[in-house]
């Protein structure tokens, strides 16, 4: 019987495979955007927000003001409210301070791994949660440090395929969760809506709005399927 900590580390391994190259790409971009190397690493330690950090690097390099950067990162990370709400019922037995520490380490990828495990019936174990999160966080910081110190040697991460690593990791986490037609419909609807909103010029709100609308549509379809046949005819 594996210990909770070893189970958490194993749970994080797929994330590590994605975080190291993507963290490396962020480190390279940070150096190219004139972010001090030490600050880039500190950002990965304290902020730990992949897409948010890429937004910061891009805006920093463009000379955008601090207030605009804060607003942009806030909008990008609004999706964490939805992820936290989805995990709330599973984490309810934990003490408030334990849920707070868990929330500080919550990312899209750790959310995908944890929600998938809970849906499969895995028992709640704080050691497993924290071990998974800290392993993933360490991989992100390590990848950032490598990218920062090797940034001068890499002029463009695209030929290495690192710019696609984050997308590939999201797809790898999404596919195992699509266990029914409803899941597939919601996932496809969210993707189409997000792309449509992006093309329409919505900006960083596209992901949040697409997620909310697709989730609402999925909830309506689920309630319709679960409605008794007599009620449906009425």
Instruction: Please report the pLDDT score of residue 39 as a whole number.
Output: 92
pLDDT in tens, the chain (234 residues): 678 899 899 989 988 988 898 888 888 888 888 889 999 999 999 988 877 888 788 778 778 778 878 877 887 787 788 888 889 999 999 999 999 999 888 988 899 889 888 888 888 899 999 999 999 999 999 999 998 988 667 666 666 665 565 566 667 667 766 778 888 898 899 889 988 988 888 776 777 788 788 888 988 988 887 776 555 444
- Residue 219: per-residue pLDDT: 87
Sequence spans of domains, the chain: 4-175, 178-226
Q: Residue 207 is inside which H or E element, if any?
A: helix 205-226
The model's pTM is: 0.71
Q: How is residue 233 written in tokens?
A: 């005819």
**pLDDT for position 209:** 82
First to last CA, the chain: 52
User: What pLDDT score was predicted for residue 38?
Assistant: 92
For 38-41, the CB contacts below 8 A with 24+ separation are 40/144, 40/148, 41/141, 41/144, 41/145, 41/148
Burial of residue 123, with CB atoms counted within 10 A of its CB: 0-12 exposed, 13-18 middle, 19 or more buried: exposed
CA atoms of 140 and 133, how far apart (whole Å): 11
Residue 169's nearest CA partner among 13, 9, 7, 1 is 13
Q: Which of 139, 84, 76 is nearest to 106 (CA)?
A: 84
């Amino acid at each position: 019987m594996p210990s909770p900590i070893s189970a958490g580390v194993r749970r994080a391994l797929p994330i590590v495979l994605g975080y190291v190259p993507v963290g490396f790409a962020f480190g390279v971009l940070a150096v190219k955007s004139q972010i001090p190397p030490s600050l880039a690493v500190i950002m990965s330690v304290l902020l730990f927000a992949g897409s948010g950090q890429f937004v910061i690097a891009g805006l920093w390099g463009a000379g955008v003001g601090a207030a605009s950067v804060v607003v942009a990162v806030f909008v990008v990370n609004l999706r964490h409210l939805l992820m936290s709400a989805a995990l709330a019922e599973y984490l309810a037995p934990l003490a408030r301070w334990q849920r707070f520490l868990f929330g500080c380490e919550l990312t899209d990828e750790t959310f995908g791994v944890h929600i998938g495990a809970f849906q499969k019936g895995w028992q709640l174990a704080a050691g497993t949660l924290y071990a998974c999160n800290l392993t993933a966080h360490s991989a992100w910081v390590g990848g950032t440090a490598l990218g920062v110190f090797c940034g001068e040697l890499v002029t463009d991460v695209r030929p290495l395929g690192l710019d696609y690593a984050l997308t590939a990791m999201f797809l790898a986490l999404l596919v195992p969760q699509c266990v029914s037609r409803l899941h597939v419909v919601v996932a496809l609807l969210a993707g189409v809506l997000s792309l449509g909103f992006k093309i329409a010029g919505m900006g960083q709100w596209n992901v949040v709005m697409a997620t909310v609308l697709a989730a609402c549509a999925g909830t309506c379809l689920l309630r319709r399927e679960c409605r008794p046949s007599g009620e449906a005819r009425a």
